[in-house]
Amino acid sequence: MVCSTKRPGHCDRSRLRHAAEWIVAASEFELIRRFFADATPNRADVVLGIGDDCALLQPAPEQTIAVSIDTLVAGRHFLPDVDPAALGHKALAVNLSDLAAMGATPAWLTLAITLPAADLDWLAAFMRGFAALAEQHRVQLVGGDTTGGPLSVTIQAHGLLPVGRGLRRSGASPGDRLFVSGTLGDAALALRHRRAGLEAGDLQARLDRPTPRVALGLLLRDIASAAIDVSDGLHADLGHLCAASGVAARVVLAQLPLSAAVREACKADNWQLPLAGGDDYELLFSVAPERIADLKKACQAINEPIREIGELRRGAGITLIYPDGSEGRETPQGYDHFKS
């Protein structure tokens, strides 16, 4: 602050600002410099990054842009005392997972973060988690907004696709087989353990640091007929795929890819964790029977485990095939994350 002796009334140092106000006003530039501007890889297709009214982005000719925006709110999507580095990872992973489900190559990010206080240690840790995952995928943070208020994080991810390509939810046909990546229900079980005051062990990383299946999505662009990422739980997201494609699904529960812990839990809770736990960020996709050999070969080549879990038919709705051979069409109850 530069003070003039002419009009000292303007220079009232006693008006100390609230810490959060300080973030959004006087020191925003300093924050940007320290945490954001050089946090992520520099890409040649970013004409102008952080620091002006807009970022300027230059897709190559014949590229289509895929965009997805997601908000994570404290107390709803994560516990307020979350490890900030894990949150930085997860907030980005959730968005990269949407790009993966579209078969897009991640390129650019924007980040709008609302913070209750000017906690620079917290922000530095958040950006460490964020930047490490951004580095893995060679994606650049190009713009953002830092605001004071209840803690939440909104990220928009921008990916690139060849013109005319892109894995949609709507491309599936009756007869296509259903596949899913990774394992289901681990994050929900970790959360259940945590709420019960138990250690979640290896499962904790599945809740805190999900892996966006970006390489798998790129591969599926040439093979799958439809795809979606599993964020709300297999049943809900399969419902979206079926509705968009105008098909029915049959899911063989015994085929679901499950960790030993989730498999054990399923005995007591009737498949709630893998069907409705959510927060999986695995890819659910459909493949025409004649492409299954190509699919398996390609997934082996990149060491990406996938599992066939059912098939699509004419009609609507989801039929669950239980291990005893019985069938059900019930909708599993989702977990109300972080709500009492």
CB of 78 to a second copy, least distance (A): 11
In the complex with a second copy, the residue whose CB is nearer, 81 or 290, is 81
Query: Which of 179, 201, 202 shows the shortest CA–CA distance to 257?
Result: 179
Helix (H, G, I), strand (E, B) or coil at 269: helix
CB of 172 to a second copy, least distance (A): 13
In the complex with a second copy, the residue whose CB is nearer, 246 or 334, is 334
CA-only gyration radius of the chain, Å: 23
CB of 119 to a second copy, least distance (A): 17
Contacts of 133 (CB under 8 A, 6+ apart): 88, 89, 92, 93, 96
Q: How big is the chain, counted in residues?
A: 340
In the complex with a second copy, the residue whose CB is nearer, 40 or 204, is 40
Strand ranges (DSSP E) for 134-225? 140-148, 152-162, 177-181
Cα–Cα distance between 49 and 141 in angstroms, integer?
8
CB of 14 to a second copy, least distance (A): 11
In the complex with a second copy, the residue whose CB is nearer, 70 or 308, is 70
Tell me which H or E stretch contains 327.
strand 327-328
In the complex with a second copy, the residue whose CB is nearer, 71 or 173, is 71
In the complex with a second copy, the residue whose CB is nearer, 168 or 296, is 168
Cα–Cα distance between 200 and 198 in angstroms, integer?
6
Other CB atoms within a 10 A radius of the CB of residue 339 amount to 7
CB of 295 to a second copy, least distance (A): 19
Residue pair 142/49 in contact by the 8 Å Cβ criterion: yes
CB of 162 to a second copy, least distance (A): 11
